[in-house]
Structure 1
């Protein structure tokens, strides 16, 4: 099923509705949809590299606005809407761990979730459930989601179509390596400097 959704998302890159589809996909993925917008972002950026950063902006905007919906679902409608979404992604057993991450790391929990392949929707909904500061949630979302999508677009803009296969094959590994380097940098700043 996920593969069919993936293929369906990719087909939008070949239509005149690719940019609106990218916005809607990024919006939906931040609150309930399983396919990450990177798939369509990569396809669009490869098809028109000169617009790669415009596509990243559209993707970031859709994702952040979708995150607001996810936050609202958690804050106002958790039992009705949020809980079934979390259960669909088998996140109920992780929910207490997520609460501990919020208690321990706060903003960094949202930031890392926004940057990595971790299902962001779980964190947007959790932010509302745990009554996480909305302004802080928004700032972490804007920075992390923009960093993620602009980094993908920058790679495509710089390397062109030959990078698509590399990104497709190693996307999760690349994001995790970047995240580890980022966390390592903060640990160094905290304990060394």
Structure 2
């Protein structure tokens, strides 16, 4: 059963839409606060559709992610107690509490230690929004927070856009050829991670 190729081709069509850049901006902003879908889902096909705009699209995603991160920071700092039930319902509360404890120790020792945690956040399996909320809750100084977010998220979106830009048509052909295997592989990986954290860890 072909499931992912039609979805991927639909994403390519959306990415070529005149308003695609606005959709990418909105997705990047909301994802940094609460939304579970990463902006790379939109960014990748947009770069494939218009490869010469790869840096522009990555920049739009980064800027809007930063704006969303600041909102997430503010919510964590000023409204955490009020939204604890919501975070618990989303299943984020244990991760946020654990990260808050770790970040609080890092911030107390040296604020720039927390900067490196945020830099690493781009390539570890913890959603960006968890870091933005946790940073606000512990009152992480703004300069290392903004710097860490720019480097951490920036290296990811620019790496994704740059690799796809360099791959060009070959990357598109490879994705079309292997999209079903990639899609099912990602589902299996996600299911394995859920099982690990739910029943094994």
Unmatched segments (≥5 aa) in structure 1: 173-193
2:144 aligns with one of 136, 161, 165:
136
- What number of residue pairs does the alignment pair up? 166
Distance in 1 (alpha carbons) for counterparts of 2:35 and 2:86: 9
The Cα of 1:147 is off from its aligned counterpart by: 0.7
Aligned in 2, Cα 1:84/1:159: closer, same or farther, shift over 3 Å?
Answer: farther
Distance in 1 (alpha carbons) for counterparts of 2:167 and 2:96: 39
Instruction: Tell me, yes or no, if structure 1 residue 23 matches structure 2 residue 31.
Output: no
Distance in 2 (alpha carbons) for counterparts of 1:57 and 1:26: 11
Query: Structure 1 length as normaliser, TM-score?
Result: 0.75
8 Å contact from structure 1 (residues 101, 109) kept in 2? no
Aligned in 2, Cα 1:85/1:144: closer, same or farther, shift over 3 Å?
Answer: farther
The Cα of 1:73 is off from its aligned counterpart by: 0.6
Larger Rg: 1 or 2?
2
* 1:97 alignment partner in structure 2: 98
1:16-52, CA deviations, whole angstroms, 9 ceiling, x for partnerless residues?
A: 1100110110000000111100000001000001111
Distance in 1 (alpha carbons) for counterparts of 2:96 and 2:43: 29
Aligned in 2, Cα 1:149/1:79: closer, same or farther, shift over 3 Å?
Answer: same
Instruction: Tell me, yes or no, if structure 1 residue 41 matches structure 2 residue 6.
Output: no
2:168 aligns with one of 128, 148, 160:
160
Q: Secondary structure at the match of 1:35?
A: coil
* 1:169 alignment partner in structure 2: 182
The Cα of 1:88 is off from its aligned counterpart by: 4.1
Aligned ranges 1:1-193 → 2 under 5 Å: 10=11, 12-81=14-83, 83-102=84-103, 103-104=105-106, 105-163=113-171, 165=175, 169=182
Q: Secondary structure at the match of 1:16?
A: coil
Q: Secondary structure at the match of 2:38?
A: coil
Query: Structure 2 length as normaliser, TM-score?
Result: 0.72
Distance in 2 (alpha carbons) for counterparts of 1:117 and 1:20: 27
Unmatched segments (≥5 aa) in structure 2: 107-112, 187-201
Distance in 1 (alpha carbons) for counterparts of 2:85 and 2:17: 33
Distance in 1 (alpha carbons) for counterparts of 2:17 and 2:85: 33
